[in-house]
Amino acid sequence: MKFSKLFLIALSVSLFVSCSNDDDDNDSNEPKGVYDNGFFILNEGSQTKGTISFLSDDLATFSKDVYGLNNNNDLPGGYLQNIFFDGDNAYIISGGSNVINVVNRYTFKLITKIETGLRNPRYGVTYEGKAYVTNANYYSFENAATGNTDDYIAVINLKTNTFESKIDLNATANRIVEENGKLYITEPYSSTKLLVVNAATKTVETPIEIGSKADGIEEDNGTLYILRGPSSDRSEIVKVKLSDKSVSKITFPESLDGAGYLALEDNKIYYTVGTSVYTIGTSATAASTTPILTATLSATGYIYGFAVNDDRIYIADGGTFGTDSKAFIYNLTGTLQKEIAVGIGPNGFYFND
Amino acid sequence: MTFKKRFIFCLLLLCQILWAQQDSITKLKAVVISDAHLKKYSNSQSVLKLNDSVIGKNEVLLTDLLNYNSTIYFKQYGRGMLSTVSFRGTSSSQTAVIWNGININSQMNGSTDFNTISGSDYNSISVKAGGGSVIYGSGAIGGTVHLNNDLSFYNHFDNYLKLDYGSFNTTGIHYKTNISNEKWSAQIGFSKNSSTNDYKYINKYTWRGEQRWNQNGEYDIITMSANLGYKIDKKNTLKLYSQNSNTDRNTSLVSENETKSKYINGFNRNLLEYNGEFGKLTTNFKTAYIFENYQYFSDNSTNDYTFGKTESLILKGDLGYQLFQSTQINGILDYNKTKGYGSGFGDHTREISSASLLTKQDISEDWKAEFGVRKEFTDNYKSPVLFNIGSSYQVSKLYNLKLNFSRNFRIPTYNDLYWQEGGNPDLKPESSYQAEIGNVFTFNNISLTQTFYYIKIKDMLQWIPGKNGIWAPQNNDRVNSYGAETLLSWRKQLGKNNFAANATYAYTISENVETKKQLFFVPFHKATGSIAYSRNRISANYQILYNGFVYTRADNDPDEIVNDYLISNIGIDYDFKFLDSFKLGFQVLNLFNETYESLENRPMPGRNFNMYLTLKF
């Protein structure tokens, strides 16, 4: 008996001590969990299962499947599409399973799953306590009549992590960014327009004509930068000035047809064509045709995910979609820093900082 | 009576390994077999025949029948869902399914779904290992599965009715009637198999802690058949085979919130056959019309679907001549016109003609040799010259040596050629060389067949991602597949006690020549066993299946496998001897409640039960 009392006291002391330690943490730069100070690589996976890999900022610590590892091999769903963050939470969108997995971004422990209101969810952004997630809903090959007009935004309450309402878009929707309470949406396959949605009033405003195959979209200093890469026409960066919605363009030379991905970092625009990465300043008026790097990918591979963050360029090789593929990390001058095997179909990088 | 009761009790309790085969019942008189070449030109290869008494003892769907009784490996997307095969380490479209002599693999995807076929619709099912393209055409690389309706010409009228009811609301109705005399023979059959299929996943829980179960797994398969034979006179026979089937299936969910989809597919097959025998000359003409279709509802709460359908007209003329006492020769001309139309591949027609020559030579009473050659003519692809050469030599009473060498192929499907986007009209057929040695030992009641084979396949079709994310098929890979198959059967009668045992084992290496990796979803090991016992009115059986692990990825990632499993079934039935036969049976499936999957994240059911009533009158 005495021993157990002693034990209880010891336990409560240790709890007290650890609590006070926690308090200290909040004020310091101590890591908040194993996955602080690093980034996630989202692996799209198969119809049934995707994975999320983690690599630390110093490129030394790697974990191939952090979701499975921390959640007793629960499945996050198939065709993992996008991750967005809110506070300490990461939201992992599974397009194949109509689920958003809500995890702690530092420990990757599952908090809850959002399982209603989603149909082929794609990308999400957060704004004032809500998440706005585009849903492709039916595709046109499933329903030719309404497939291209039934896409919607699922509005999610981030306090309760529940689906709240829909905003019908009467168009197709894919990538989404938020600026000043407005949501801007592109979709490369069936749309030629930039959709504009007022988040607060949930109303769809007049769309802006930007041309076909518009995909990558980034905002910087009041301007949207959108990359489009039509298959039989010149690639372009379309700039939309948000104050007056005026549109200007940088048209690429023919040698850069079929541009792929876009990233903005430190007043520079980075874009990919084939397996090469190019860069120009945000105020440039012409495209650069001199790549800063050309990636050596697998035989059937092509760039399937792309990011630029804090002096590094990140490239994901789509690979064969049947076996694990690779991610490549370069410095800004194009020198390879790290090549690492990840999961099936890596499609994005998400930075935990 | 007491003794009998105690006996049943003992059987159940001790899980005795027993089964009855009762072949003596099925001695048929004056039967006209539907696929003459299967008998005539298969001496040098191994053919495993499952007759109607074996079919009646197994679960109804062809997947279960063949999984427990042959060396063929099955990959199932959950119980009752899409089920495809790998035979001798080959792909699902390299096993041809032959209905009364006609190749019925899908023109759209090249393969057959073995969970859409009910074994009870046929009199016998044969599994022939090894190449058979000379006779059966495209897809006969790993082997062929023969579904036969044999017509009998003697005076009889009998009816067969089997009713099944089992776990997960699984019901089966199988009815067959045979009416015949010496001139006419008619067979009419009906089968319906359905299940709500809502079984629990053993030890699997959602993140909320709720028991997981097989959602959206309902299936319903209905098949009707009518076969008619008429002997015009001693020399001329007309036969008409007709079959109609519809499979309405939902597709099991892998995770709880997926969109629920369903898949409906069906077929209509008609075959008119004329057979004439004029001394040394035999003639056979076949005209077949085969229709197949599917509708895929990506969301089964709506009426929107994608679809595909094909119609094929097949004309076949076969002239046989007995050259000498010991030499038989057959010349065959074949014309096949297929029209395909679908939401994924547009509207296309393809015509294929072929000519083939088969000879059989009985060199001596103990030594039989076969030779066959076939060439196809079509605008669609370049077709190789196919051949088959074989020998069967009865070395002694105990031992028969079989040798076979063949070249076989598999033609590109509608999907491969025309799929939007990605279809590649410039594809070549997959082709293979195959050599095998078979050793058949027979002594007393035991028969042991051991076959070693080597298959070299080139131009394997593979869909790979191209630029802009569009997948397209290419003639990419070369595969070497080799291994050994063992078939063992034993039968013994001791007074009123009948014992029978069967076992199969396959060891398979199927290796990508370039990467040296085992093909994914090809197990190194597969074994089956069954043992049966019968005495008077009671019969019991036990069957067991071992499936070795399979890789699920081309790079043989050791973390990405489907684990091996060992499962077994036990069954017992009692004949009340009312009418011709009135049997009540009970089966326990997956007796030891094994947790297993055939495909990753698609659990199969635990222990479950089936009851049946079989009436013959």
Sign of CA dihedral B467, B471, B475, B476: positive
Q: For A325, which residue in chain B has the nearest alpha carbon?
A: B555
Residues 16-35 of B with CB under 8 A from A: none
Q: Is the pLDDT of residue B21 over 50?
A: no
Distance from CA of B338 to the nearest CA of A (A): 25
User: pLDDT (tens digit, 9 = 90+) per residue, A150-207?
Assistant: 999 999 999 999 999 999 999 999 999 999 999 999 999 999 999 999 999 999 999 9
pLDDT in tens, A92-121: 999 999 999 999 999 999 999 999 999 999
B303 in a domain, yes or no? yes
Beta-carbon contacts of residue B169 (< 8 Å; ≥ 6 apart)? B194, B195, B196, B197, B198
Q: B575 is written with which tokens?
A: 């004949």
The DSSP secondary-structure symbol of B599 reads E
Q: Do A110 and B299 touch (CB under 8 A)?
A: no
Confidence of residue B4 (pLDDT cuts 50, 70, 90): very low
Question: Chain A interface residues facing chain B, Cβ-Cβ under 8 Å?
Answer: 47-49, 71, 74-75, 77-78, 94, 96-99, 110, 113, 115, 118-120, 138-139, 141-143, 231, 258, 300, 302, 318, 320-324
The answer to whether the Cα torsion of A280, A286, A291, A297 is positive or negative is: positive
Between the CA atoms of B128, B134, B135 and B136, what dihedral angle is there, to the nearest 10 degrees? Answer: 70
Burial bucket for residue B198 (CB in 10 Å: 0-12, 13-18, 19+):
middle
Interface test with A, best of B254, B262, B557 (most A CBs within 10 A): B254
Distance from CA of A260 to the nearest CA of B (A): 9
Interchain proximity A119–B259, CB inside 8 Å: yes
- Whose tokens are 């209880």? That residue is A8
**ipTM for the complex?**
0.84
Edge-first strand listing for the sheet containing A293-294: A259-265, A268-273, A276-281, A293-294
Distance of CA A108 to CAs A18, A67, A344, B410, Å? 21, 6, 20, 48
Q: Which of A51, A111, A119, A143 to mutate to test binding with chain B, by most B CBs within 10 Å of its CB?
A: A143
Question: C-alpha distances in angstroms, B458 versus B96, B137, B415, B433?
Answer: 18, 17, 20, 9
Contacts of B402 (CB under 8 A, 6+ apart): B43, B44, B45, B46, B390, B391, B392, B393, B436, B437, B438, B439, B440, B451
Of B207, B259, B467, Cβ closest to residue A302? B467
State the DSSP code for B71.
S
Per-residue tokens: A218: 């980034």
Task: Check which CATH number belongs to the domain holding B423 and give it.
Answer: 2.40.170.20
Phi, psi of A5, deg, nearest 5? -65, -45
What is the pLDDT confidence band of residue B35, given thresholds at 50, 70 and 90?
Answer: confident
- Contacts B302 to A, Cβ<8 Å: 138, 143
What DSSP string runs through B498-566? EEEEEEEEEEEEEEETTT-PBPTT--SEEEEEEEEEEETTEEEEEEEEEE--EESSTT--TTSEEPPEE
d(CA A142, CA B382): 35
Compare all CA atoms of chain A with the CA of B305 and give the residue at the minimum distance: A142
B306/A78 CB distance under 8 A: no
How close does chain A come to B466, measured CA to CA in Å? 6
Strand partners, B391: B369, B403
- For testing contact with chain B, the best of A100, A110, A142 (most B CBs within 10 A): A142
To the nearest whole angstrom, how far is the Cα of A148 from the nearest Cα of chain B? Answer: 14
Q: Is B302 in the A-facing interface, judged by CB distances under 8 Å?
A: yes
**Is pLDDT above 90 for B319?**
yes
| pLDDT (0 to 100) of residue B14 | 33
How confident is the model over B580-617, as pLDDT tens digits? 889 999 999 999 999 999 999 999 999 999 999 999 99
Contacts of B243 (CB under 8 A, 6+ apart): B99, B121, B223, B224, B225, B226, B267, B268, B269, B270
Domain for residue B261, yes or no?
no
Share of chain B above pLDDT 70, in %: 94
How far off is chain A from B130, nearest CA to CA, in Å?
Answer: 29
Give the start-to-end residue ranges of the domains of chain A.
210-294
| Rg of the Cα atoms in chain B | 24
Judge whether B601 is closer than 8 Å to chain A, CB to CB. Answer: yes
- Spatial contact of B182 and B171, defined as CB atoms under 8 Å apart: no
Structure-derived torsion over alpha carbons of residues B58, B64, B67, B68, reported in degrees to the nearest 10: -30
| DSSP of A218-260 | EEETTEEEEEE--TTS--EEEEEETTTTEEEEEEPPGGG-SEE
Whether residues A97 and B465 touch (CB distance < 8 A) is answered with no
Give the mutation candidate from A46, A51, A97, A189 for the B interface (greatest B CB count, under 10 A). Answer: A97
Nearest chain B Cα distance for residue A28, angstroms: 34
Question: What is the band of A29 on the pLDDT scale with cuts at 50, 70, 90?
Answer: low
Give the number of beta-carbon pairs within 8 Å between A and B.
72
Token pair for B370 = 């076969």
Residue appearing with tokens 């007995």: B322
This prediction has a pTM of 0.89
pLDDT tens digits, A192-225: 999 999 999 999 999 999 999 999 999 999 999 9
- pLDDT by residue (tens digit) across B269-299? 999 999 999 999 999 999 999 999 999 999 9
Collapsing DSSP to helix, strand or coil, B274 comes out as strand
- Kindly give the pairing relationship between strand B151-152 and strand B143-148: unpaired
SS3 at position B469:
helix
> How many structural domains compose chain B?
1
Whole-angstrom CA distances from B396 to B21, B399, B400 are 28, 5, 7
Q: Which residues contact A28 (CB under 8 A, 6 or more apart)?
A: none
Give the pLDDT confidence score for residue A8 in this predicted structure: 45
Pairing of strands B95-99, B143-148: parallel
Interface of B with A in 176-215 (CB under 8 A): 207
pLDDT value of residue B347: 93
CA A57 to chain B, closest CA, distance in angstroms equals 27
Name the token pair of B473: 């098929």
Residues of B in contact with A49 (CB under 8 A): 254, 600-601
Cβ–Cβ gap B254/A321 under 8 Å: no
Give the per-residue pLDDT at A87.
95
Distances (CA, A) of B525 to A243, B79, B86, B363, B505: 68, 22, 12, 38, 7
* Cβ-Cβ contacts under 8 Å, A162 against chain B: none
User: A302 contacts in B (CB within 8 Å)?
Assistant: 465, 467, 469
From chain B, the residues in CB contact with A324 under 8 A are: 553, 555, 557
**DSSP single-letter state for residue B265:** E
Q: How far is CA A45 from the centre of its chain?
A: 15
Which residues of chain A neighbour B212 with C-beta distances below 8 Å?
A: none
* Domain range enclosing B19: 3-256+268-616
The answer, yes or no, to whether residue B474 has pLDDT greater than 90, is no
Q: What is the DSSP letter of A21?
A: H
At A16, is the secondary structure helix, strand, or coil?
helix
**Tokens describing residue B39:** 């008998």
Alpha carbons A178 and A182: distance in angstroms, whole number: 6
pLDDT tens digits, B166-214: 999 999 999 999 999 999 999 999 999 999 999 999 999 999 999 999 9
Name chain A contacts of B257, Cβ cutoff 8 Å.
Answer: 77, 97-99, 115, 118
**Are A143 and B306 an interchain contact pair (Cβ–Cβ within 8 Å)?**
no
Neighbours of B471 (CB within 10 A): 14
Q: What's residue B467's pLDDT?
A: 66
Determine the pLDDT at residue A50: 96
Q: Is the pLDDT of residue B137 over 60?
A: yes
- Per CB-CB distance under 8 Å, the chain A contacts of B555 are 323-324
DSSP state letters, A303-350: EEEEEEETTEEEEEE-TTSSS--EEEEEETTS-EEEEEE-SSSEEEEE
Q: How far is CA A173 from CA A63, A129, A195, B321, B453, in A?
A: 33, 22, 8, 69, 54
Average pLDDT over residues A45-52: 94
Q: Which of B414, B386, B572 is nearest to B7 (CA)?
A: B572
Contact B464 A118 (CB under 8 A): no
Find chain A residues with C-beta within 8 A of B468's C-beta.
231, 258
The Cα A166–Cα A155 span in angstroms is: 6
- Using one digit for the tens of pLDDT, what is the confidence trace for B83-116? 999 999 999 999 999 999 999 999 999 999 999 9
Answer whether A300 sits within 8 Å of B466, measured CB to CB.
yes
The DSSP symbol for B141 reads S
- Give the chain A residue nearest B306 (alpha carbons): A142
Residue B589 distance to chain A (closest CA, Å): 28
The answer to whether B187 touches B227, Cβ cutoff 8 Å, is yes
Question: What was the pLDDT predicted at B30?
Answer: 64
State the nearest Cα–Cα gap between A95 and chain B, in angstroms. Answer: 9
Averaged pLDDT of chain B: 90
What residues of B are in contact with residue A71 (Cβ under 8 Å)?
207
Locate the chain A residue with the closest alpha carbon to B560.
A323
**Residues B226, A199: Cα–Cα separation, whole Å:** 65
Subunit contact B255:A71, Cβ cutoff 8 A:
no
Chain A partners within 8 Å of B216 (Cβ): none
Tokens linked to A132 = 């706005």
Q: How confident is the model at residue B572 (pLDDT cuts 50, 70, 90)?
A: very high
Rounded Cα distance, B252 and B115, in Å: 14
Strands A38-43 and B236-250: unpaired
Q: Which secondary-structure segment (H or E) carries B397?
A: none
Residues of B in contact with A75 (CB under 8 A): 254-255, 601
| Token pair listed for B246 | 């519809």
Give the minimum alpha-carbon distance from B371 to chain A in angstroms, rounded to a whole number. Answer: 41
Q: Is residue B128 part of a domain?
A: yes
Q: Considering CB atoms only, which of A77, A118, A318 is closest to B255?
A: A77
| Tally of helices (H runs) and strands (E runs) in chain A | 2, 28
Question: Strand order of the sheet with strand B47-51?
Answer: B47-51, B124-129, B143-148, B95-99, B102-103
> Across chain A, what does the average pLDDT equal?
91
A80 close to A103: Cβ distance less than 8 angstroms: no
Give the H or E element holding residue B55.
helix B52-57
Block residue for tokens 């440039």: A284
**What gap in Å lies between CA B575 and CA A16, rounded to an integer?**
75
Q: Does B557 touch chain A (CB under 8 A)?
A: yes
Calpha distance B520→B83 (Å, rounded) = 16
Contacts of B601 in chain A (CB under 8 A): 48-49, 75
Residues of B in contact with A120 (CB under 8 A): 259
Chain A interface includes B555 (CB < 8 A): yes
